[in-house]
Amino acid sequence: MHTFEFVRAKDEPSAVAAGSKSRTAQQGASVRFLAGGTTLIDLMKLNVERPTDLVDINRLPLDEIEALGDGELKIGATVRNTNLAHHVAVKRDYPVLSQAILSGATAQLRNMATTAGNLLQRTRCVYFRDTAWPCNKREPGTGCSAIDGANRTLAILGTSEHCIATNPSDMNVAMMALEATIHIHGPGGRREVPIGQFYLLPGKTPERETVLEPGDLITHVTLPPPAAESKSLYLKLRDRASYEFALVSAAVIVTLKDDRIARARIGLGGVGTIPWRSLEAEAALVGQPASDATFKKAADAALRDAKPQSENRFKIELAKRCLVHALKIVTGKT
Ligand SMILES: Cc1cc2nc3c(=O)[nH]c(=O)nc-3n(C[C@H](O)[C@H](O)[C@H](O)COP(=O)(O)OP(=O)(O)OC[C@H]3O[C@@H](n4cnc5c(N)ncnc54)[C@H](O)[C@@H]3O)c2cc1C
Ligand code: SF4
Protein backbone atom coordinates (compact mmCIF):
# COMPACT_ATOMS: atom_id res chain seq x y z
CA MET A 1 0.00 0.00 0.00
CA HIS A 2 1.26 3.47 -0.82
CA THR A 3 1.59 6.09 1.91
CA PHE A 4 2.91 9.63 1.85
CA GLU A 5 3.92 12.17 4.43
CA PHE A 6 2.60 15.68 4.52
CA VAL A 7 5.41 18.16 3.88
CA ARG A 8 4.95 21.73 5.00
CA ALA A 9 6.25 24.16 2.40
CA LYS A 10 8.80 26.75 3.48
CA ASP A 11 7.51 30.10 4.72
CA GLU A 12 6.96 32.50 1.90
CA PRO A 13 8.41 35.99 2.52
CA SER A 14 5.92 37.66 0.18
CA ALA A 15 2.93 36.13 1.92
CA VAL A 16 4.29 36.93 5.37
CA ALA A 17 5.06 40.50 4.35
CA ALA A 18 1.52 40.89 3.07
CA GLY A 19 0.22 39.83 6.46
CA SER A 20 -1.29 36.68 4.95
CA LYS A 21 -1.47 33.46 6.93
CA SER A 22 -1.72 31.51 3.67
CA ARG A 23 1.61 30.03 2.82
CA THR A 24 0.57 26.94 0.98
CA ALA A 25 -2.07 25.52 -1.20
CA GLN A 26 -5.10 27.77 -1.05
CA GLN A 27 -6.53 30.55 -3.15
CA GLY A 28 -4.31 33.61 -3.20
CA ALA A 29 -1.41 31.78 -1.54
CA SER A 30 2.09 31.94 -2.95
CA VAL A 31 2.69 28.18 -2.86
CA ARG A 32 0.05 26.12 -4.63
CA PHE A 33 -0.73 22.52 -5.43
CA LEU A 34 -0.82 21.73 -9.15
CA ALA A 35 -3.09 18.92 -10.38
CA GLY A 36 -4.35 18.97 -13.99
CA GLY A 37 -3.56 22.68 -14.21
CA THR A 38 -6.62 23.48 -16.34
CA THR A 39 -7.83 26.10 -13.87
CA LEU A 40 -4.61 27.15 -12.17
CA ILE A 41 -2.33 27.54 -15.22
CA ASP A 42 -5.16 29.25 -17.09
CA LEU A 43 -5.49 31.84 -14.33
CA MET A 44 -1.70 32.23 -14.02
CA LYS A 45 -1.54 33.15 -17.72
CA LEU A 46 -4.10 35.87 -17.01
CA ASN A 47 -2.12 37.12 -13.97
CA VAL A 48 -5.17 36.39 -11.79
CA GLU A 49 -3.30 33.74 -9.81
CA ARG A 50 0.35 34.52 -9.13
CA PRO A 51 1.89 31.78 -7.01
CA THR A 52 5.67 31.88 -6.63
CA ASP A 53 5.95 28.08 -6.25
CA LEU A 54 3.92 25.15 -7.53
CA VAL A 55 3.88 21.76 -5.83
CA ASP A 56 3.11 19.13 -8.46
CA ILE A 57 0.92 16.47 -6.80
CA ASN A 58 0.49 14.29 -9.87
CA ARG A 59 2.92 11.63 -8.70
CA LEU A 60 1.30 11.16 -5.30
CA PRO A 61 -0.54 7.82 -5.03
CA LEU A 62 -3.96 9.45 -5.14
CA ASP A 63 -5.22 8.31 -8.52
CA GLU A 64 -7.21 5.20 -7.62
CA ILE A 65 -10.95 4.51 -7.49
CA GLU A 66 -11.71 1.85 -4.91
CA ALA A 67 -14.87 0.15 -3.61
CA LEU A 68 -14.75 0.11 0.18
CA GLY A 69 -16.07 -2.73 2.32
CA ASP A 70 -18.99 -0.72 3.66
CA GLY A 71 -20.36 -0.04 0.18
CA GLU A 72 -18.78 3.41 -0.16
CA LEU A 73 -16.76 4.43 -3.20
CA LYS A 74 -13.37 6.09 -2.63
CA ILE A 75 -12.16 8.44 -5.36
CA GLY A 76 -8.57 9.67 -5.24
CA ALA A 77 -7.88 13.40 -5.54
CA THR A 78 -5.89 13.05 -8.77
CA VAL A 79 -8.27 10.67 -10.55
CA ARG A 80 -8.85 12.27 -13.95
CA ASN A 81 -12.39 13.34 -14.74
CA THR A 82 -12.46 11.04 -17.78
CA ASN A 83 -11.48 8.00 -15.73
CA LEU A 84 -14.06 8.83 -13.08
CA ALA A 85 -16.89 9.36 -15.56
CA HIS A 86 -16.20 6.06 -17.35
CA HIS A 87 -15.50 3.92 -14.29
CA VAL A 88 -17.78 0.89 -14.26
CA ALA A 89 -18.98 1.42 -10.66
CA VAL A 90 -19.69 5.11 -11.28
CA LYS A 91 -21.69 4.43 -14.44
CA ARG A 92 -23.63 1.67 -12.71
CA ASP A 93 -24.21 3.14 -9.22
CA TYR A 94 -23.81 6.91 -9.64
CA PRO A 95 -24.89 7.72 -13.22
CA VAL A 96 -25.65 11.32 -12.24
CA LEU A 97 -21.94 11.84 -11.53
CA SER A 98 -20.84 10.29 -14.80
CA GLN A 99 -23.37 12.39 -16.76
CA ALA A 100 -22.39 15.61 -14.96
CA ILE A 101 -18.69 15.17 -15.68
CA LEU A 102 -19.26 14.23 -19.32
CA SER A 103 -21.43 17.32 -19.83
CA GLY A 104 -18.51 19.56 -18.90
CA ALA A 105 -15.66 21.08 -20.90
CA THR A 106 -14.14 18.88 -23.62
CA ALA A 107 -12.63 15.41 -23.83
CA GLN A 108 -9.13 16.90 -23.78
CA LEU A 109 -9.83 18.97 -20.66
CA ARG A 110 -11.50 16.05 -18.89
CA ASN A 111 -8.41 13.93 -19.63
CA MET A 112 -6.35 16.40 -17.57
CA ALA A 113 -8.82 17.68 -14.94
CA THR A 114 -8.79 15.92 -11.57
CA THR A 115 -11.36 15.27 -8.85
CA ALA A 116 -9.86 17.76 -6.37
CA GLY A 117 -9.08 20.33 -9.05
CA ASN A 118 -12.69 20.21 -10.20
CA LEU A 119 -13.94 20.65 -6.62
CA LEU A 120 -11.75 23.77 -6.40
CA GLN A 121 -12.23 25.26 -9.87
CA ARG A 122 -12.91 28.98 -9.79
CA THR A 123 -15.65 31.20 -11.14
CA ARG A 124 -15.87 32.22 -14.79
CA CYS A 125 -17.04 35.75 -13.88
CA VAL A 126 -15.40 37.87 -16.58
CA TYR A 127 -14.29 40.55 -14.11
CA PHE A 128 -12.55 37.99 -11.91
CA ARG A 129 -10.57 36.86 -14.94
CA ASP A 130 -9.60 40.37 -16.11
CA THR A 131 -7.22 42.25 -13.81
CA ALA A 132 -8.24 45.59 -15.32
CA TRP A 133 -11.51 45.46 -13.34
CA PRO A 134 -12.28 45.78 -9.63
CA CYS A 135 -13.26 42.42 -8.12
CA ASN A 136 -13.72 41.60 -4.44
CA LYS A 137 -12.94 37.94 -4.99
CA ARG A 138 -9.59 38.67 -6.70
CA GLU A 139 -8.66 41.82 -4.75
CA PRO A 140 -10.71 42.03 -1.54
CA GLY A 141 -12.19 45.46 -0.89
CA THR A 142 -12.00 46.75 -4.47
CA GLY A 143 -15.69 46.30 -5.27
CA CYS A 144 -17.83 44.07 -7.48
CA SER A 145 -17.92 45.07 -11.15
CA ALA A 146 -20.57 42.48 -11.99
CA ILE A 147 -23.43 43.82 -9.89
CA ASP A 148 -23.82 46.79 -12.26
CA GLY A 149 -22.16 45.05 -15.18
CA ALA A 150 -22.34 41.89 -17.27
CA ASN A 151 -24.06 39.43 -14.97
CA ARG A 152 -26.17 37.30 -17.32
CA THR A 153 -24.34 34.08 -16.39
CA LEU A 154 -23.91 34.81 -12.69
CA ALA A 155 -25.69 33.58 -9.57
CA ILE A 156 -29.21 34.13 -8.25
CA LEU A 157 -28.93 32.07 -5.07
CA GLY A 158 -26.51 32.61 -2.18
CA THR A 159 -25.28 35.98 -3.43
CA SER A 160 -24.15 38.93 -1.31
CA GLU A 161 -23.63 42.61 -2.02
CA HIS A 162 -19.91 41.78 -2.29
CA CYS A 163 -20.03 38.99 -4.88
CA ILE A 164 -22.56 37.30 -7.17
CA ALA A 165 -20.20 34.90 -8.94
CA THR A 166 -21.45 31.42 -9.89
CA ASN A 167 -19.66 28.21 -9.01
CA PRO A 168 -19.20 26.87 -12.55
CA SER A 169 -18.71 23.15 -11.93
CA ASP A 170 -20.99 20.39 -13.18
CA MET A 171 -19.32 17.61 -11.18
CA ASN A 172 -19.78 19.47 -7.91
CA VAL A 173 -23.56 19.67 -8.37
CA ALA A 174 -23.75 15.88 -8.66
CA MET A 175 -21.39 15.51 -5.69
CA MET A 176 -23.78 17.68 -3.66
CA ALA A 177 -26.79 15.53 -4.53
CA LEU A 178 -24.74 12.41 -3.76
CA GLU A 179 -23.70 13.81 -0.35
CA ALA A 180 -20.00 13.23 -0.93
CA THR A 181 -17.43 13.58 1.84
CA ILE A 182 -14.15 15.43 1.26
CA HIS A 183 -11.07 13.94 2.95
CA ILE A 184 -8.30 16.36 3.81
CA HIS A 185 -4.73 15.99 5.07
CA GLY A 186 -3.22 19.16 6.46
CA PRO A 187 -0.70 20.44 8.99
CA GLY A 188 -3.19 19.65 11.77
CA GLY A 189 -3.71 16.06 10.65
CA ARG A 190 -6.54 14.40 8.75
CA ARG A 191 -10.19 15.39 8.72
CA GLU A 192 -13.40 14.74 6.78
CA VAL A 193 -15.85 17.39 5.67
CA PRO A 194 -19.31 16.64 4.24
CA ILE A 195 -19.57 18.47 0.94
CA GLY A 196 -22.59 20.37 2.27
CA GLN A 197 -20.21 22.10 4.70
CA PHE A 198 -17.22 22.40 2.35
CA TYR A 199 -18.15 25.51 0.32
CA LEU A 200 -18.57 28.96 1.86
CA LEU A 201 -21.13 31.53 0.75
CA PRO A 202 -19.44 34.77 -0.36
CA GLY A 203 -20.83 37.00 2.40
CA LYS A 204 -18.23 39.70 3.11
CA THR A 205 -15.30 37.44 2.18
CA PRO A 206 -15.83 36.16 -1.36
CA GLU A 207 -12.11 35.45 -1.67
CA ARG A 208 -12.59 32.57 0.78
CA GLU A 209 -14.41 29.83 -1.12
CA THR A 210 -14.03 26.68 0.98
CA VAL A 211 -13.19 25.58 4.52
CA LEU A 212 -9.71 24.52 3.42
CA GLU A 213 -6.96 25.98 5.59
CA PRO A 214 -3.44 26.87 4.47
CA GLY A 215 -1.56 23.70 3.64
CA ASP A 216 -4.62 21.46 3.35
CA LEU A 217 -4.38 18.80 0.66
CA ILE A 218 -7.51 17.00 -0.51
CA THR A 219 -6.54 13.33 -0.60
CA HIS A 220 -9.81 11.73 -1.73
CA VAL A 221 -13.58 11.90 -1.85
CA THR A 222 -15.98 9.19 -0.67
CA LEU A 223 -19.51 8.58 -1.88
CA PRO A 224 -22.04 6.82 0.34
CA PRO A 225 -23.50 3.57 -0.99
CA PRO A 226 -26.08 4.26 -3.70
CA ALA A 227 -29.63 4.60 -2.38
CA ALA A 228 -31.57 1.40 -3.03
CA GLU A 229 -33.95 1.51 -6.01
CA SER A 230 -32.97 5.10 -6.82
CA LYS A 231 -32.72 6.64 -10.28
CA SER A 232 -30.61 9.66 -11.09
CA LEU A 233 -30.04 12.18 -13.85
CA TYR A 234 -27.99 15.30 -14.64
CA LEU A 235 -29.62 17.80 -16.98
CA LYS A 236 -27.60 20.81 -18.18
CA LEU A 237 -28.95 23.78 -20.15
CA ARG A 238 -26.42 26.09 -21.82
CA ASP A 239 -25.95 28.50 -24.70
CA ARG A 240 -24.43 25.86 -26.99
CA ALA A 241 -24.36 22.08 -26.92
CA SER A 242 -20.72 21.54 -25.97
CA TYR A 243 -17.67 23.29 -24.55
CA GLU A 244 -19.90 25.59 -22.49
CA PHE A 245 -20.69 26.10 -18.82
CA ALA A 246 -24.23 25.64 -17.46
CA LEU A 247 -26.71 28.48 -17.49
CA VAL A 248 -28.72 26.21 -15.22
CA SER A 249 -28.50 22.52 -14.42
CA ALA A 250 -30.14 19.96 -12.16
CA ALA A 251 -28.82 16.79 -10.53
CA VAL A 252 -31.72 14.68 -9.32
CA ILE A 253 -31.74 11.38 -7.42
CA VAL A 254 -35.18 9.97 -6.73
CA THR A 255 -36.58 6.78 -5.19
CA LEU A 256 -40.18 5.94 -6.07
CA LYS A 257 -42.44 3.68 -4.03
CA ASP A 258 -45.95 2.96 -5.31
CA ASP A 259 -45.66 6.02 -7.56
CA ARG A 260 -44.89 8.28 -4.59
CA ILE A 261 -41.53 9.87 -3.96
CA ALA A 262 -39.91 8.10 -1.02
CA ARG A 263 -36.54 9.89 -1.20
CA ALA A 264 -35.14 12.82 -3.19
CA ARG A 265 -31.80 14.59 -3.45
CA ILE A 266 -31.66 17.74 -5.57
CA GLY A 267 -28.61 19.71 -6.71
CA LEU A 268 -28.73 22.82 -8.90
CA GLY A 269 -25.92 24.26 -11.02
CA GLY A 270 -25.41 27.61 -12.72
CA VAL A 271 -27.59 29.41 -10.20
CA GLY A 272 -25.66 29.35 -6.93
CA THR A 273 -22.52 31.01 -5.62
CA ILE A 274 -21.73 27.49 -4.42
CA PRO A 275 -22.86 24.16 -5.90
CA TRP A 276 -26.46 24.31 -4.70
CA ARG A 277 -28.36 21.64 -2.79
CA SER A 278 -32.06 22.39 -2.53
CA LEU A 279 -33.38 21.00 0.74
CA GLU A 280 -36.55 22.99 0.01
CA ALA A 281 -37.20 21.08 -3.22
CA GLU A 282 -36.45 17.77 -1.51
CA ALA A 283 -38.96 18.53 1.27
CA ALA A 284 -41.60 19.45 -1.31
CA LEU A 285 -41.10 16.13 -3.12
CA VAL A 286 -40.92 13.53 -0.36
CA GLY A 287 -44.19 11.73 0.33
CA GLN A 288 -45.91 13.28 -2.69
CA PRO A 289 -47.18 11.58 -5.85
CA ALA A 290 -44.77 11.72 -8.78
CA SER A 291 -46.75 14.24 -10.81
CA ASP A 292 -46.33 17.45 -12.75
CA ALA A 293 -47.98 19.41 -9.94
CA THR A 294 -45.54 18.03 -7.35
CA PHE A 295 -42.54 18.77 -9.55
CA LYS A 296 -43.68 22.36 -10.14
CA LYS A 297 -44.14 22.91 -6.40
CA ALA A 298 -40.64 21.59 -5.77
CA ALA A 299 -39.19 23.88 -8.44
CA ASP A 300 -41.01 26.89 -6.96
CA ALA A 301 -39.62 25.99 -3.53
CA ALA A 302 -36.09 25.66 -4.90
CA LEU A 303 -36.12 29.11 -6.48
CA ARG A 304 -38.22 30.93 -3.85
CA ASP A 305 -35.24 32.85 -2.45
CA ALA A 306 -33.71 33.66 -5.83
CA LYS A 307 -32.37 37.21 -6.14
CA PRO A 308 -31.87 38.02 -9.83
CA GLN A 309 -29.46 40.63 -11.14
CA SER A 310 -30.09 43.05 -14.03
CA GLU A 311 -29.40 40.49 -16.79
CA ASN A 312 -30.24 37.09 -15.31
CA ARG A 313 -33.86 37.13 -14.20
CA PHE A 314 -34.51 34.52 -16.93
CA LYS A 315 -32.56 31.99 -14.88
CA ILE A 316 -35.39 31.66 -12.36
CA GLU A 317 -37.86 30.29 -14.90
CA LEU A 318 -35.17 28.35 -16.77
CA ALA A 319 -33.98 26.64 -13.58
CA LYS A 320 -37.54 25.74 -12.64
CA ARG A 321 -38.17 24.20 -16.06
CA CYS A 322 -34.85 22.38 -15.94
CA LEU A 323 -35.67 20.81 -12.57
CA VAL A 324 -39.23 19.87 -13.57
CA HIS A 325 -38.00 18.29 -16.80
CA ALA A 326 -35.25 16.35 -15.02
CA LEU A 327 -37.79 15.04 -12.49
CA LYS A 328 -40.16 14.01 -15.26
CA ILE A 329 -37.44 12.07 -17.07
CA VAL A 330 -36.11 10.34 -13.98
CA THR A 331 -39.58 9.26 -12.82
CA GLY A 332 -40.69 8.21 -16.32
CA LYS A 333 -43.44 10.86 -16.46
CA THR A 334 -42.47 12.41 -19.79
C1 LIG B 1 -12.16 26.03 -21.71
C2 LIG B 1 -12.66 25.37 -20.45
C3 LIG B 1 -13.97 24.91 -20.39
C4 LIG B 1 -14.46 24.31 -19.24
N5 LIG B 1 -15.75 23.88 -19.18
C6 LIG B 1 -16.23 23.32 -18.04
C7 LIG B 1 -17.59 22.89 -17.92
O8 LIG B 1 -18.39 23.00 -18.86
N9 LIG B 1 -17.99 22.35 -16.74
C10 LIG B 1 -17.15 22.21 -15.69
O11 LIG B 1 -17.57 21.71 -14.64
N12 LIG B 1 -15.87 22.61 -15.75
C13 LIG B 1 -15.39 23.15 -16.89
N14 LIG B 1 -14.10 23.57 -16.95
C15 LIG B 1 -13.30 23.57 -15.74
C16 LIG B 1 -12.53 22.29 -15.52
O17 LIG B 1 -13.43 21.27 -15.15
C18 LIG B 1 -11.55 22.58 -14.37
O19 LIG B 1 -10.57 23.48 -14.87
C20 LIG B 1 -10.88 21.33 -13.84
O21 LIG B 1 -11.83 20.46 -13.29
C22 LIG B 1 -9.85 21.70 -12.77
O23 LIG B 1 -9.14 20.54 -12.42
P24 LIG B 1 -7.53 20.53 -12.49
O25 LIG B 1 -7.09 19.20 -11.97
O26 LIG B 1 -7.04 20.90 -13.83
O27 LIG B 1 -7.22 21.67 -11.42
P28 LIG B 1 -5.93 22.59 -11.22
O29 LIG B 1 -5.98 23.71 -12.18
O30 LIG B 1 -4.67 21.78 -11.17
O31 LIG B 1 -6.24 23.10 -9.74
C32 LIG B 1 -7.36 23.89 -9.45
C33 LIG B 1 -7.25 24.37 -8.01
O34 LIG B 1 -7.29 23.28 -7.10
C35 LIG B 1 -6.14 23.24 -6.27
N36 LIG B 1 -5.88 21.82 -6.05
C37 LIG B 1 -5.80 20.85 -6.99
N38 LIG B 1 -5.69 19.66 -6.41
C39 LIG B 1 -5.71 19.86 -5.06
C40 LIG B 1 -5.65 18.99 -3.93
N41 LIG B 1 -5.55 17.67 -4.05
N42 LIG B 1 -5.74 19.55 -2.69
C43 LIG B 1 -5.84 20.90 -2.54
N44 LIG B 1 -5.86 21.75 -3.58
C45 LIG B 1 -5.82 21.24 -4.82
C46 LIG B 1 -5.07 23.98 -7.07
O47 LIG B 1 -4.06 24.52 -6.23
C48 LIG B 1 -5.91 25.07 -7.72
O49 LIG B 1 -6.18 26.09 -6.80
C50 LIG B 1 -13.60 24.15 -18.11
C51 LIG B 1 -12.26 24.58 -18.19
C52 LIG B 1 -11.79 25.19 -19.34
C53 LIG B 1 -10.36 25.65 -19.39
S1 SF4 C 1 -19.23 38.75 -8.94
FE2 SF4 C 1 -17.55 38.18 -7.57
S3 SF4 C 1 -16.00 37.46 -8.99
FE4 SF4 C 1 -17.40 38.73 -10.20
S5 SF4 C 1 -16.65 40.86 -10.12
FE6 SF4 C 1 -18.07 40.61 -8.43
S7 SF4 C 1 -16.71 40.09 -6.73
FE8 SF4 C 1 -15.58 39.64 -8.58
Which ligand is in closest contact with the Cα of 135? 2
Element (H, E) at 96: helix 95-102
Which ligand is in closest contact with the Cα of 205? 2
* Contact between 160 and 206 (Cβ < 8 Å): yes
Residue 213's pLDDT is what? Answer: 86
For residue 326, the CA-to-ligand 2 centroid distance in Å is 30
Residue nearest atom 31 of ligand 1, based on CA coordinates: 117
Residue 27 has pLDDT above 70, yes or no: no
For residue 261, the CA-to-ligand 1 centroid distance in Å is 35
Average pLDDT for 297-310 = 98
Per-residue model confidence as pLDDT tens digits over 70-82:
999 999 999 999 9
Residue 1's pLDDT is what? Answer: 38
Residue 21's pLDDT is what? Answer: 39
Residue nearest atom 17 of ligand 1, based on CA coordinates: 118
Query: Which residues, in sequence order, are bridge partners of residue 207?
Result: none
- Cα(156)–Cα(68) distance, rounded to whole angstroms? 38
Residue 93 has pLDDT above 90, yes or no: yes
Mean residue pLDDT across the chain = 92
Q: Which residue has the higher pLDDT, 77 or 214?
A: 77
Q: How confident is the model at residue 97 (pLDDT cuts 50, 70, 90)?
A: very high
Residue 26's pLDDT is what? Answer: 64
Residue 17's pLDDT is what? Answer: 34
Q: Does ligand 2 come within 6 angstroms of the Cβ of 137?
A: yes
- Cα(232)–Cα(248) distance, rounded to whole angstroms? 17
For residue 105, the CA-to-ligand 1 centroid distance in Å is 10
The model carries a pTM of 0.94
Residue nearest atom 41 of ligand 1, based on CA coordinates: 218
Angle at 199 between CA 328 and CA 39, to 5 degrees: 90
Residue 5's pLDDT is what? Answer: 44
Residue 187 has pLDDT above 90, yes or no: no
Average pLDDT for 186-210 = 95
Task: For residue 261, give the 3-state DSSP assignment.
Answer: strand
Q: Which of 18-27, 42-51, 56-65 has the lowest mean pLDDT?
A: 18-27
For residue 36, the CA-to-ligand 1 centroid distance in Å is 7
Residues contacting ligand 1 via CB (< 6 Å): 25, 32-40, 42, 57, 77, 104-105, 109, 112-114, 116-118, 120-121, 168-171, 217-218, 245
Neighbours of 132 (CB within 10 A): 7
Residue 3's pLDDT is what? Answer: 42
Q: How confident is the model at residue 28 (pLDDT cuts 50, 70, 90)?
A: low
Residue 149 has pLDDT above 80, yes or no: yes
Residue 311, CA atoms < 13 Å, CB-side half-sphere: 11
Which ligand is in closest contact with the Cα of 186? 1
Sheet holding 276-277, edge to edge: 230-237, 248-257, 260-269, 276-277
Which of 130, 135, 139 to mutate for ligand 2's pocket (most ligand atoms within 8 Å of CB)? 135
Per-residue model confidence as pLDDT tens digits over 234-289:
999 999 988 899 999 999 999 999 999 999 999 999 999 999 999 999 999 999 99
Residue 94 has pLDDT above 80, yes or no: yes
